Chain A
Amino acid sequence: MVVERFPDFYQWIGPGALQFLGILIAASLLGLFIGYVVSVFRHGPFEAFYVVAQVIGEAVPDFLGLSFRRLVAIARLTAKEALRRRVLLVTFAIFAAMLLFGGWFLNSASEHPDRIYVNFVMWGTQMLVLLMGMLVSAFSLPEDIKNKTIYTVVTKPVRASEIVLGRIMGLGAVCTALLALMALISFFFVWRGLSHEHQIVGDTQTLASFVDVDQGTRKSRFTARRVSENAVMEAQTTRESGHSHRLELVEDIRDADSPPLVASNVVDSVELPGGRVKYRRIVCLPVGGHTHPVKVVGEGDDARIELGSSVGYFRARVPVYADSLRFRDREGNLKDRGTNVGNEWGYRGYVDGGSGAIRSSLARGLFRFSGFRESLFRRPDVVPLDLSLSVFRTYKANVEKRVMAGLEFESIPDNPEVDNRFVSDMITFETNEYTLQTLPIPRKVVGKLLAPDGAIVGQGEYDLFDDYAKNGNLMLNLSCRDSGQYLGVARADIYFRAGDTLYWLNFFKGYVGIWCQLMIIIAMGVAFSTFLNTPVTMLGIVVMAILGFYSQFVRDLTLPDSDGGGPIESFIRVITQQNMQVSLQTGVLTTLMEQADKLLVWLLAGLTYLAPDFSQLDFSSFLTYGYSVDPQRLIVALLITVAFISGLTILGYFALKTREIAK
């Protein structure tokens, strides 16, 4: 599983700004209309024009005259007030209890305990702080109005905008402090919960505890699974956190001038004829996405073997995704979507492995990368390529044997009719179906240099960055090497791994999303409470939050081609017990109803944009699956938050300004 890539900031900002502008204009018109209607009841139709114009006229100087000192004063007072209420304390107490006792129910023995831990703390924190934000904001202003303490505030030169914004700032400050504390505690909870060490099962922590691999079956004596290709001995670790690892002693034969990158796990080495060296290394096999570094102290069979603390849980991978994915069918024709394999076809496109008759299928998945530069990668000598491929098998074949795939790199010349292009030889590999696998791609890749007419100009090792991606553009072609089988890929399924960012930093970046949601909930609470009482405010926030969490679903409901028509038609079908598929009798009434439905659906679709799309502010999947939170997504989330707070402040301003405080 990988995290879907969001359109980057530059792709988002244009349509996002337009959408914001549209919503702003629509909301302003709606506000003007409601304001005028209310004013008509109070002052009559002619006076109402004057009153509405006056209120709007005063709004500009009121916002321009915002005083930072007054804002801070109101924010500080609100923060003190909120701290006095027990909501924050109770929230923290529930959070503490959740961590104290929740740990009992988290299954450390599961396949991915890190995901369970991160999901648990993030979901728990999110629900608690959003509830807390709702409560403190819904009570804040109404309490002030009920106690009449607001009389002594609004009779000072305080703008309604300052009251609204100051309250959002004050409540935001205390809730942010609590969220930061919860994030810090959560981080240590996850860290402590997942960190563990193992010992080797046996009398000694040396090779004496290892047993020989059954060379006949090549299956483990402990797990009955296939052992690695070069493994000669194996051992098992003690069971900690609900799991144990298998250790293998592998024989690694290398050239003398290219020793293993990690030397700490080498037991001994023997020089072979022809300038080659045989290294005997101990490898700890991963379980549930983590392993343990092996350290060999001493040399030979008596060397002491030490296993370090778990590594692999706390990752924050930085992916470099392709800009686009297109396909070629088995005849080599370019397509936007892969081969259709039935129900599974949709999100992923499938690459045809060819048939028995046509062995050389030309089907490819074409991943086009731009901005592919050496500077993106922490270690450009070996570039890790992560893949999560799905497989559609048309025949069972040997289940022990995985489907083979092939990779080719290809340069994309600026001028294909003139410039030569580099095409690498195919790199074949076994696919880990649906499981993330990493292929280390060396910087030097063997390939050919082809002239525009296809003639081979050169052959040899070419540099991935300086040759293949000289202009920053690179094509990666994925093919299925087993005939009769299909490989399924989506754009986010293959990416280069630029490196890892600091886990703790990424963890806190993940909480920025919760913070954005919290601030919007607080802003909603303050804005709504300027014209609603506490219970109705809370109800309003709950409705908006539900719309926010399920915004896509709600928007899908308003799609014009929904079965059974719009709200009026659906209602009529329900009461007349008519099937959704049956057409209604044609006539004037039906036409009127359909047009009214269209209008209603259009209005409802518009209204859904008034609720925040919380999925854009949710970074939990990044943390759960070990990816670095994309900074561009952070910027987008912060801009969305600022946009909502601004809109809600304006709403709160007009509602408070036109409200009779002493009524």
Chain B
Amino acid sequence: MSTENASASSVVEDSAAPGQATRLEQTNPDYDPNVVVETQNLTKIYRDFWGRQKVRALNALDLEVRKGEIFGLLGPNGSGKSTTIKLLLGLLFPTSGRALVFGKNATEVTKNERIGYLPEESYLYKFLTAEETLDFYGRLFDMPAAVRKERVESLIEQVGLTWAKRRQLKEYSKGMTRRIGLAQALINDPELILLDEPTSGLDPLGTREMKDMILKLRDQGKTIIMCSHLLADVQDVCDRIAVLYQGDLKELGRVDSLLQVSDETQIRAKNLPDAAAEEIRAVIAKHGGEVLSVDNPRTTLEELFLDIVRESQARPGHRSSGVDSN
């Protein structure tokens, strides 16, 4: 076990070793330790002062997030993603249904000892420095001073802000703020991390770093729930997704199986002569198939940008010729 893990588990008294249920959870006979989050018929209706319904933000959501997976909540703005996250955190109370985290009611404060949360905007105290910020959140987890100090230093280094750790957050750029926001979400080495639009406002490089960090956390055995309306982000990192639209669950499943088009076959090859391509077309026609396209696959814009950045970092001063590659 790493030092970080050791320190965090000493701090979070109520949390148990991975795979083990806490004393409280053991009293719940229905609790499955592999199910980290469970919602049952979860509904949220916003009402006005007089109790009249304004909007039905979430409608009878049934979900189960299992231990060690990255679960994506996908949907356009106003689809109920953030509402779901807030209900899981106890920031909102369900109108009906239940939200259970680690088998406990989402409004119970003790569950927060095992949770990390990165809000959509990094709602941090701008007058604090990065060090003070993490120290403050560490204190909220009742961490002893020595453990807190070690953890703060390690996280600041992990998110690459060592050079700016004594600057007030009001001087930080959006990307830096997101990084320190992620660091505060990880201060307690949580088992479950909830990320609300984690790549929002980040440049492509920052987005990639964030996604790499999410995958790394998953590899460390953490469970991650993220919500985003950026398809590429979800596609890249999520194991399973739920697609929400106007508060209703429209789709739920593994990303690879959801994106797989079972009645289409894509052929990708390298250094193939034109004659061979013609032969392949002929074979497809012989078996009654319809050729949609056989062409050179394109990389994504994000990939291209990252290649350029990597190239620029490897060969400083190199400039493009300015001639259209086509």
Residues in chain A within 8 A of chain B (CB atoms):
41-42, 58, 62, 67, 69-70, 72-74, 76-77, 80-81, 84, 147-160, 660-663
Interface contact B117-A151, CB-CB below 8 Å? yes
Q: Which residue of B lies closest to A658 (CB)?
A: B93
When A41-B51, A152-B117, A152-B184 are in contact, do A662 and B92 touch as well, CB less than 8 Å?
Answer: yes
Question: Which residues of chain B come closer than 8 Å to A159, judged between CB atoms?
Answer: 109
Within the assembled complex, what's the spacing in Å between the Cα atoms of A156 and B117?
9
Q: How large is the interface on B (under 10, 10 to 19, 20 to 34, 35 or more residues)?
A: 20 to 34
Return the CB mask of B122-165 against A: 1 if under 8 Å, else 0: 01110110000000110111110000000000000000000000
Interface contact A80-B123, CB-CB below 8 Å? no
When A70-B142, A660-B93 are in contact, do A58 and B117 touch as well, CB less than 8 Å?
Answer: no
> Nearest 4 CB-CB pairs, A to B?
A73-B139, A662-B91, A156-B140, A148-B123
Q: Kindly state whether residue B20 has any CB partner on chain A within 8 Å.
A: no
Interface contact A73-B119, CB-CB below 8 Å? no
Cβ distance A456 to chain B, nearest Cβ, rounded Å: 79
Q: Kindly state whether residue B89 has any CB partner on chain A within 8 Å.
A: yes
Question: Which residues of chain B come closer than 8 Å to A157, judged between CB atoms?
Answer: 109-110, 112-113, 140-142
A-B contact pairs, 26 of them (CB 8 A): A41-B51, A42-B95, A58-B108, A62-B109, A70-B139, A70-B142, A73-B140, A76-B136, A77-B136, A80-B127, A81-B125, A84-B127, A148-B119, A150-B123, A151-B117, A152-B124, A152-B184, A154-B91, A155-B112, A156-B112, A156-B188, A157-B113, A660-B91, A660-B93, A661-B91, A662-B92
Q: Kindly state whether residue B208 has any CB partner on chain A within 8 Å.
A: no
Return the CB mask of B198-221 against A: 1 if under 8 Å, else 0: 000000000000000000000000
| Most chain B beta carbons < 10 A, residue from A148, A151, A155 | A155
Within the assembled complex, what's the spacing in Å between the Cα atoms of A148 and B82?
14
Within the assembled complex, what's the spacing in Å between the Cα atoms of A152 and B109?
13
Within the assembled complex, what's the spacing in Å between the Cα atoms of A159 and B113?
12
Q: Kindly state whether residue B86 has any CB partner on chain A within 8 Å.
A: yes
Within the assembled complex, what's the spacing in Å between the Cα atoms of A151 and B181?
12
Interface contact B115-A155, CB-CB below 8 Å? yes
Within the assembled complex, what's the spacing in Å between the Cα atoms of A155 and B86?
10
Return the CB mask of B77-116 against A: 1 if under 8 Å, else 0: 0000000001001111101000000000000111011010
Question: Which residues of chain A come closer than 8 Å to B303, judged between CB atoms?
Answer: none
Q: Which residue of B lies closest to A58 (CB)?
A: B108
Q: Which residue of A lies closest to B143 (CB)?
A: A69
Q: Which residue of B lies closest to A41 (CB)?
A: B51
Contact of A151 among B91, B113, B137 (CB under 8 A): B91
Cβ distance A643 to chain B, nearest Cβ, rounded Å: 26
Interface contact B91-A77, CB-CB below 8 Å? no
Cβ distance A174 to chain B, nearest Cβ, rounded Å: 14
Q: Kindly state whether residue B307 has any CB partner on chain A within 8 Å.
A: no
Cβ distance A57 to chain B, nearest Cβ, rounded Å: 11
Question: Which residues of chain B come closer than 8 Å to A70, judged between CB atoms?
Answer: 139-140, 142
Within the assembled complex, what's the spacing in Å between the Cα atoms of A69 and B137?
11
Q: Which residue of B lies closest to A55 (CB)?
A: B107
Question: Which residues of chain B come closer than 8 Å to A76, judged between CB atoms?
Answer: 136
Return the CB mask of B40-82 against A: 1 if under 8 Å, else 0: 0000001000010000000000000000000000000000000
Q: Which residue of B lies closest to A80 (CB)?
A: B127
Within the assembled complex, what's the spacing in Å between the Cα atoms of A41 and B47?
11
Interface contact B141-A155, CB-CB below 8 Å? no
When A77-B136, A155-B115, A157-B113 are in contact, do A149 and B123 touch as well, CB less than 8 Å?
Answer: yes
Within the assembled complex, what's the spacing in Å between the Cα atoms of A212 and B54?
96
Q: Kindly state whether residue B121 has any CB partner on chain A within 8 Å.
A: yes
Within the assembled complex, what's the spacing in Å between the Cα atoms of A627 and B46?
61
Contact of A69 among B46, B95, B127, B142 (CB under 8 A): B142
Within the assembled complex, what's the spacing in Å between the Cα atoms of A149 and B122?
8
Cβ distance A207 to chain B, nearest Cβ, rounded Å: 70
Question: Which residues of chain B come closer than 8 Å to A150, judged between CB atoms?
Answer: 123
Cβ distance B322 to chain A, nearest Cβ, rounded Å: 47
Within the assembled complex, what's the spacing in Å between the Cα atoms of A67 and B110?
13
Within the assembled complex, what's the spacing in Å between the Cα atoms of A266 and B140?
71
Interface contact B109-A148, CB-CB below 8 Å? no
Within the assembled complex, what's the spacing in Å between the Cα atoms of A660 and B83?
12
Within the assembled complex, what's the spacing in Å between the Cα atoms of A257 and B188?
83
Question: Which residues of chain A come closer than 8 Å to B89, judged between CB atoms?
Answer: 155
Return the CB mask of B152-187 against A: 1 if under 8 Å, else 0: 000000000000000000000000000000001000
When A157-B109, A157-B112 are in contact, do A660 and B92 touch as well, CB less than 8 Å?
Answer: yes
Contact of A149 among B91, B93, B125 (CB under 8 A): B125
Interface contact B127-A148, CB-CB below 8 Å? no
Within the assembled complex, what's the spacing in Å between the Cα atoms of A41 and B95?
11
Within the assembled complex, what's the spacing in Å between the Cα atoms of A160 and B121?
23
